[in-house]
Amino acid sequence: MSQLQHNIGLSIFEPVPNYRANRIVCTIGPSTQSVEALKGLMKSGMSVARMNFSHGSHEYHQTTIKNVRQAAAELGLHIGIALDTKGPEIRTGLFKDGEAILCPGETVLVTTDPAFEKNGTKEKFYIDYPQLTTAVRPGGHIYVDDGVLNLKVLSVEDDCTLKCYVNNHHRLTDRKGCNLPGCDVELPAVSEKDRKDLIFGVEQGVDMIFASFIRTAEQVREVRAVLGEKGKDTMIISKIENHQGVQNIDAIIEASDGIMVARGDLGVEIPAEKVVVAQMCIISKCNVAGKPVICATQMLESMTTNPRPTRAEVSDVANAVFNGADCVML
């Protein structure tokens, strides 16, 4: 039977299958940390509990792990526990008044000079990536604050300063993330914070690591080295979040235990219309390699405030399943 013949035979009047081939990864926050809340998630279909180590202390996450295990034991279920690393990041510095209002048509100087790390203004502010002026050339772009602020590089003023054109209005506050689309960024695979978090995860016996901003297979091996002998059975799920990760995907798949298509940062690093192409390609490669693959970011996003998802969100989840994703992440 061809795909078209299969599609023609589908019916909305057939009963919903009583099995679920895909798994659901749920991010656990303060509102879902209690044992009762976790039991509710498990009864609704949660398979893996994700802890985001960009936020929270080790004590906080230790409580989450304890509660997940208690809730799972009371229900007689096995629930995976995942540690999502913060990963290496490029961020802005601090601003004099805690913020800077940037307006379209203005120009702003972006510098790596530490003298401006704590006193940024709308005229000049700091970014903590020393190779910025060599990584981004005139005509390139810098996206700030999850891609909301778009700066176009006009010129290199000196070894540590770029002159940029402001493309849109934005209220920029302290320590916002920066993306350099199309640029080969040189950052360590494991920051000092990540190293401490990974060791903590091994001590707590987490089942898997969601390794952020993986760009090469060598970086996967670096994460594995930190896990050491005690963490040799801990799965490493490499998060693909930029064009370098997509470019090196075959080697990364081979070195990893699984892959996550992290569409948030990926959608900033590459054109939005190409994210769906990357998603389909990466998922298919993982299927062929026999490695589990997770589709993540903005799944049912509107349901954080609304009881029903949008039609587009429902289609997005279905499309991830049709593509061959083993898990979706909320």
Active-site choice (215, 224, 239, 263): 239
Is 263 noted as a catalytic residue in this protein?
no
- CB crowding 25-36: b at 16 or more within 10 Å, else e: bbebeeebbeee
Active-site choice (50, 176, 215, 224): 50
Label each residue of 55-122 as H, E or C. CCCHHHHHHHHHHHHHHHHHHCCCCEEEEECCCCCCEECCECCCEEEECCCCEEEEECCHHHCCCECC
Is 221 noted as a catalytic residue in this protein?
no
Both ends of the chain: CA-CA distance in Å?
A: 34
Q: At what angle do helices 58-75 and 35-44 cross, to 10 degrees?
A: 60
E strand or H helix that includes residue 223: helix 217-227
**Per the structure block, which two tokens stand in for 103?**
């307006």
Active-site choice (91, 122, 193, 195): 91
Is 297 noted as a catalytic residue in this protein?
yes
Is 193 noted as a catalytic residue in this protein?
no
Q: Which of the residues are catalytic? A: 50, 91, 239, 297
